[in-house]
Structure 1
Amino acid sequence: MDKQGQLKELEGKIGYVFRNKKLIKEALTHSSFSNEQKINKYRNYERLEFLGDAVLELLSSRFIFGNYPGMSEGQMTRLRSTMVCETALAFCARDIFLGRYILLGKGEEATGGRERDSILSDVMEAVIGAVYLDGGIDAAEEFVTRFVFSDLENKQLFYDSKSLLQERVQKQGKELSYELVAEIGPEHDKIFVVEARIDGETVGKGQGRNKKTAQQQAAYQALIAEMSKE
């Protein structure tokens, strides 16, 4: 599929059609790609990311303020930081397969940049910035409500899975550990496979481009399994 077709596909997924196509193209362009273009250099997403970060902070603050009237300022701040952290935004980006549309340089592509949390979260913010510039605050709010604030309880469980699982295991007087059981693929594009174990028994398994992500997925599986026993 050519770049134009990919843009149309992405617009279909997010339910928003850009009037200014340059904005979405810029939001999807990594600096490694723009630096490789010797002629007609593309602008990368960094400025849009800056704007999108501010828009997301405003909208998430307003969302929490309106939907959690019993929360203190400290609780709201902690929830907001969880909702818009790198891992959370990368999780949301993967929900819409955003990684496949990013323009990357050859070197960044070869080292697995398309699935890196830091890049995915940055591009997610850049897209929010692009939607805001193209359609205003209402369009941006509709986007983040659909793709960032949706299914928040399940996402919260995923984001906090390691700490929640640790608390449960400690209360039971047991020991939690994470074991790296496999490394799949070439050095530049490796997948790590991790098992979560309670007292040596495997209770969850996860995989990811780094050990932290694999551990989080393993913890989430284990937490769901533990909760199902109740």
Structure 2
Amino acid sequence: MNSVQAYRLDGPNSEDFDVDFSTFDIPYLIVRSSLDSQRLSSYSLLLTTSDHGEPPRATSIQLNITVLNINDSIPIFVQSIYSIDIREDTVIGTTILKIEAINDNNEKIFYELLTESPFIIDRLTGRIQLSKTLDYEREKSYRLIVKAYENLIPTYASIFIRIIDINDNPVSMQIKVEGDITIKQKQNDKTVLFLQEDTPLGTTIAHVILNDLDSSGKFISILDFSYMFKNLPRNTK
């Protein structure tokens, strides 16, 4: 599989911006030069991504950037990137994080989650709560995009949520027999193996396979059971 290996910006004055993907391997468009809306109020750039395949494949998207006057008020997140860990047995309704954006005109700021996930956000307070049951075995992490706005001009932040595995899965067991050995499962959950009375000592008669899905104790173990009893006379009771 050839993952994305390179990003390139093209267009007039493209050197004012750059692409940085050093954080969580997710690309971010960053400002490299001082911006001046009086000098240049907009940019039209082409972002191209490519891989290292043979031959390499590339795709491009158009980026239109508007530079606002410094007197235009837009919200600014206190943090642009949040990262937290939560347990998979976290109770629904628990507040896991409170994000905050500020502005310089004391206008009310509203929040909105742009990513489908088992989380919801209070649009007035920025509190993020769990709304659905988590399952580490199904989804180990989430990346949320949050929008903050007071008018038509929004700002964004990213939230990375890692799920901590809890030992909530029972160990499963499977028995596989060898050769002429037969197996029978009784109603009382007892497993009975049947073998010939002349079975040689040391013969492997069954494999017991144990499987634990939880990462904290994840294992697949195979136990060999051998016939180690002395042959007894048929009239022995």
TM-score, normalization by structure 2: 0.27
- Higher strand fraction: Structure 1 or Structure 2? 2
Question: With CA pairs under 8 Å and 6+ residues apart, which has the higher RCO, 1 or 2?
Answer: 1
TM-score, normalization by structure 1: 0.28
- Higher helix fraction: Structure 1 or Structure 2? 1
